Amino acid sequence: MDLDPLLLSRIQFAFTVSFHIIFPSFTIGLAAWLAVVEGLWLYTGRRVYYELARFWTKIFAVSFAMGVVSGIVMSYEFGTNWSQFSNIAAPVIGPLLAYEVLTAFFLEASFLGIMLFGWNRVPRGVHFATTCIVAVGTTVSAFWILSANSWMQTPAGFAIENGRFVPTDWFELIFNPSFPYRFMHMVTAAFLSTGLVVGGVGAWYLLRRRNLPHGRIMVAMAVGLLAVLAPAQLIIGDMHGLNTMEHQPRKVAAMEGHWETKTGAPLILFAVPDQEAQTNHFEIGIPNLGSLILTHEWNGEVHGLDQWAPEDQPNVPIVFYSFRVMVGIGLAMIALGLTGAFLGLRRRLFESRWFLTVQALMTPLGFVAVLAGWFVTEVGRQPYIVYGLMRTSEAVSPVPGGSVLATLILFVVVYGIIFGAGMFYMFRLAKKGPEADQGEPAHGTPARPLSAAGDAAAPAE
């Protein structure tokens, strides 16, 4: 059997990065939310906020741990599987990753300890500051890694010398053309995904008539967030799309399913793209709307995939379907947010069981949208690893296919176990809820006398 190290390395990287991205998406949003809730506790003195903070911190810890361990894998996979890329792009990518470690990873990892274990060891204000620092750290981390990713999509501020990418202007390089849009789009996506989880768990509590004060706060805050950010995300996404059309037109052509360059292009709602025949089957579209959205003109010209040879095109079906999944979920979030806001204004939010049921069912959809969005942008960049400049096939390590297959199987098995266990524990924590949790010590271990976990007292000053 002929094992292709390139294909296997791509599958392995796609698998490990898809697994990884779920957790930072959640921790970026959750850390910010925890900072808000803890701040509300300090400001209002209401115990329900303290209980919410303690409760969600536990779920945060599980997610964070999975994000950390799967993230370390990524930082080494650049070398183990993509050594040619590392060697050629290191002068550009290396410093961005180094700055991520120096400005974000250490910050998050060090203060996480105090955030989780320091409730009784530092004053309340210091603990709150710690939570804020962790929240800032997660976002700063996103800043650098998205800058690096964006550079691979829309390279800028560099020259090619002796076969290497060499930085010429750090500002242009870091703030490369797609970075501001990608950063906004991703951070907003993280907030929305977290909002769906927090709101979904809250809705579930209200449906089960448990943890009512906590559930109401969770549902109300999530609805407020979705009502504002979900429509905002539509606008940010549109801007990101226009930016992509300017710099990576073939990605947009694949997203839209446009094979032919034409004016007054339709907006294709559904189709079965056929890469071999370079055409769509069963196409359903709205005339001219594609041009209107992409060019903001009724008869604007839209580039089709016919501008590029088939071997220079990305995999159209993956990009096309993923894009529709992402947009579909985005629209559902807008509907959820606006409906919830409407019900809230009419004071019926907590009683509308059908709404709460929908909200509970939508809990995991943010992560599906995040993954679909990353499929769009990463598969859409192919066949290049650095868009237009370096092909993915030129990037792979000189490692035999058998080795990569072996590690790919290991990754699938290990991540399967970890993911299953992590989900199980998070579910169980959510099921127990903030109220059930406050009274009892952890399994088998007596509560530390100082912590007074069972009493009404909040942590010591």
Partner 1 sequence: MEFWLPVIWSVVIAIAVIMYVVLDGFDLGIGILFPFAEHDQDRDIMMNSVAPIWDGNETWLVLGGGGLMAVFPVAYATILPALYLPIIVMLLALVFRGVAFEFRFKAAPRNRWWWNLAFAGGSTLAAFAQGVTLGAFIQGFQIQDNQFVGGPFDWLSAFALLTGFGLVAGYALLGATWLIMKTEGALQDWTYERTVPLMSVVLLFVLAVSAWTPFLENTIHQRWFSWPNIALLSPVPIVTALVLFQLWRAVNLRREIQPFVLSIALFLLCYLGLGISLYPTVVPHTVTVWEAASETSSLIFMLVGVAILLPIILAYTAYTYWVFRGKVQPGEGYH
CB 151 within 8 A of CB 92: yes
Q: Does 65 bind partner 1 (CB under 8 A)?
A: yes
Q: Does 58 bind partner 1 (CB under 8 A)?
A: yes
Q: How far is the CB of 144 from partner 1 (least distance, A)?
A: 10
Piece of the chain touching partner 1 by CB under 8 A; list 76-84, 281-289, 305-313, 378-386:
76-84
CB 299 within 8 A of CB 293: no
Q: Does 83 bind partner 1 (CB under 8 A)?
A: yes
Q: Does 123 bind partner 1 (CB under 8 A)?
A: no
Using CA atoms, how far residue 400 sits from 19, 241, 396, in Å, is 24, 38, 11
| Residue from the set 101, 289, 335, 412 that interacts with partner 1 by CB under 8 A | 101
In this structure, what token pair is assigned to residue 422?
A: 């992590």
| Residue from the set 28, 34, 93, 135 that interacts with partner 1 by CB under 8 A | 93
Helices 5-44/401-439 angle, 10° precision? 20
Q: How far is the CB of 418 from partner 1 (least distance, A)?
A: 6
Q: Which is nearer to partner 1, 49 or 111 (CB)?
A: 111
Strand partners, 391: 384
Identify the burial level of 207 via C-beta atoms within 10 angstroms of its C-beta, where 0-12 means exposed, 13-18 middle and 19 or more buried.
middle
Q: Which is nearer to partner 1, 361 or 406 (CB)?
A: 406
Q: Does 2 bind partner 1 (CB under 8 A)?
A: no
Q: Which is nearer to partner 1, 168 or 263 (CB)?
A: 168
The footprint of partner 1 on this chain (CB under 8 A) covers a number of residues equal to 81
Residue whose C-alpha is closest to residue 92's, from 139, 142, 137, 149: 149
Q: Which is nearer to partner 1, 137 or 195 (CB)?
A: 137
| Residue from the set 43, 270, 298, 425 that interacts with partner 1 by CB under 8 A | 425
Q: Does 125 bind partner 1 (CB under 8 A)?
A: no
Q: Does 393 bind partner 1 (CB under 8 A)?
A: no
Piece of the chain touching partner 1 by CB under 8 A; list 77-85, 260-268, 311-319, 360-368:
77-85
Q: Does 448 bind partner 1 (CB under 8 A)?
A: yes
Q: Does 403 bind partner 1 (CB under 8 A)?
A: yes
Q: Does 39 bind partner 1 (CB under 8 A)?
A: no
Q: Which is nearer to partner 1, 10 or 240 (CB)?
A: 10
| Residue from the set 11, 36, 42, 109 that interacts with partner 1 by CB under 8 A | 109
Q: Does 107 bind partner 1 (CB under 8 A)?
A: yes
Q: Does 122 bind partner 1 (CB under 8 A)?
A: yes
Residue keyed to tokens 């976990």 = 453
| Residue from the set 42, 69, 129, 343 that interacts with partner 1 by CB under 8 A | 69
What's the one-letter identity of residue 264? G
CA angle 136, 141, 143 (to 5 degrees): 95
Q: Which is nearer to partner 1, 54 or 214 (CB)?
A: 54
Q: Does 51 bind partner 1 (CB under 8 A)?
A: no
Q: Does 57 bind partner 1 (CB under 8 A)?
A: yes
Piece of the chain touching partner 1 by CB under 8 A; list 189-197, 263-271, 334-342, 438-446:
438-446
| Residue from the set 11, 42, 68, 232 that interacts with partner 1 by CB under 8 A | 68
Q: Does 288 bind partner 1 (CB under 8 A)?
A: no
Q: Does 427 bind partner 1 (CB under 8 A)?
A: no
Phi, psi torsion values for 60, nearest 5 degrees: -55, -45
Piece of the chain touching partner 1 by CB under 8 A; list 27-35, 55-63, 347-355, 372-380:
55-63
Residue keyed to tokens 């810890």 = 61
Piece of the chain touching partner 1 by CB under 8 A; list 39-47, 162-170, 182-190, 331-339:
162-170
Q: Does 113 bind partner 1 (CB under 8 A)?
A: yes
CA–CA dist 145, 100 (Å, integer): 7
Phi, psi torsion values for 122, nearest 5 degrees: -125, 155
Q: How far is the CB of 210 from partner 1 (least distance, A)?
A: 20
Phi, psi torsion values for 287, nearest 5 degrees: -55, 140
